[in-house]
Structure 1
Amino acid sequence: MSEVIYRQITAADEAAVIDLANEVHGDNYLSPESFQHYLQAGTVEDVQLNWLALKDGQMLGVRLTLAPGQWPIDSFCTPSEWPFPAEELCYFKCAAVSEKARGLGIGKTLLQRSIDSAKELGCKGGLAHIWMQSPKNSAYEYFTRCGGEMIKQHEKRWYKASVEDGYYCPVCDGTCYCNAGEMLLKFDT
């Protein structure tokens, strides 16, 4: 039986990463354009924050993480509540694990790989907008088990993406009304 292989994401992984992310999060969650943007935003010189998991050549999981200064602080962010300044925070953009590989520790290992890379950039923590309506509330449960702490809930986080960018929410059956939990994960130093 072969082992799970973890490695950094490259441009050649585009199609497989997009397929898995869209399978888990809904059609048009990632596009070729957004993938390229996130790949670039997750790379600083020779430090890469984006990771994937493979077994027998098949994509099992992906973690997209953006470097400090490479993600927008928008109206769904509450910087006054963060324990660290934005320049000491990475942003956990996307985690997707194939349904057949859930419960094997792949998501947690991918997260740890991104954290280890982010620490090389001086990060003290990572921010995420957690999908509060994920099936069985699995996103919140997972991120909480990993040490994430709730800062604030934001209504209709992905509404604009569903109306303007063609994102299709699998929970809302189209236009997304899901809430996001703005959560912060402090890194062990």
Structure 2
Amino acid sequence: MFSSAIQYRQLQLQDYAALLQLANRVHGEGYLDAQSLAYYHQLSIKQGIDASFVAYADQQLVGFRLCWAAGQWQPDQWCSTELWQTTVAETSYFKCNTIAPLWQGHGIGGELMSRSIAALKQQGAKAGVAHLWRQSPGNAAVKYFTKQGGQLVKIHPDKWRQDSHNGYECVRCGFDCRCEAAEMIIYF
């Protein structure tokens, strides 16, 4: 099963259906919908360069990374911009990294991250910030991001609570998410 070569490429419209299915299976129903995905993808393209990538094995989507280009997104109350060493205009956003459970631990996430960082740098970004799910099994999300060079900025309790009250069903908490987010940043 894992002998298949992984093919990586920038996200395309024909990937949307498989991406939505994988995202909602791994993160919980309501995590992404077609409208938000189209908007997020739009935010990832700057100067004709797309910073969002997908990974396929045997023509099956096994992973993806969504990123927002620096200067094309607005920080919210969960962003501690005063603690960053870069300006908002220089900072991209790592929206989501998802790997199919059977394919985790095979380097796909790291390769997707490398490709996204290369694209973000070409767009002019000097850093990328993310909010990592601290309650992921074994705190894998934070460990992964730290391994990629991420530094902790701040812990945010109940980051996804409002989303869970608006239709997102957290795989851990259901419709009253109490998970914490680790705001982390990688400087390029």
Shorter-normalised TM range: over 0.9
Q: Deviations over 1:64-104 (max 9, x none)?
A: 00011222211101111001101111100000001111111
Post-superposition CA distance 1:109-162 (Å, at most 9, x none) = 001100000001111110000111111111011111111000000111111111
Q: Take 1:2 and 1:99, find their aligned partners in 2: how far apart are those partners?
A: 16
* Aligned residue type for 1:98: A
Structure-2 separation of matches of 1:93 and 1:72 = 12
Distance (Å, rounded) in 2 between the aligned partners of 1:122 and 1:69: 10
Partner Cα separation in structure 2 for residue 94 and residue 20 of structure 1 = 12
- Normalising by the residue count of structure 1, what TM-score does the alignment of the two structures yield? 0.95
> What SS does structure 2 have at the residue aligned with 1:74?
coil
Residue in structure 2 matched with residue 177 of structure 1 by the alignment = 178
* Alignment pair present for 1:186 and 2:187: yes
The equivalent residue for 1:127 is 129
Unaligned runs of 5+ in 1: none
SS in 1 for 2:29: coil
Structure 2 distance, partners of 1:158, 1:72, is 17
Counterpart residue number, 1:154:
156
* Separation (CA, whole Å) in 1 of partners of 2:92 and 2:25: 25
Superposed displacement of residue 174, structure 1:
2.7
Aligned residue for 1:39?
Answer: 41
C-alpha contact (below 8 Å) 1:11/1:39 kept by paired residues: no
| Distance in 2, Cα, partners of 1:168 & 1:85 | 33
Is the contact made by 2:70 and 2:124 (CA closer than 8 Å) also made in structure 1?
A: no
1:77 to 51, 67, 79: 79
**RMSD value over aligned CA atoms?**
1.0
Gaps of 5+ in 2: none
What secondary structure, in the 3-state scheme, does the structure 2 residue paired with 1:176 have? coil
Q: TM-score, normalised by structure 2?
A: 0.96
Count residues with an aligned counterpart. Answer: 186
SS in structure 2 at match of 1:61: strand
Indicate the SS of the match to 1:19.
helix
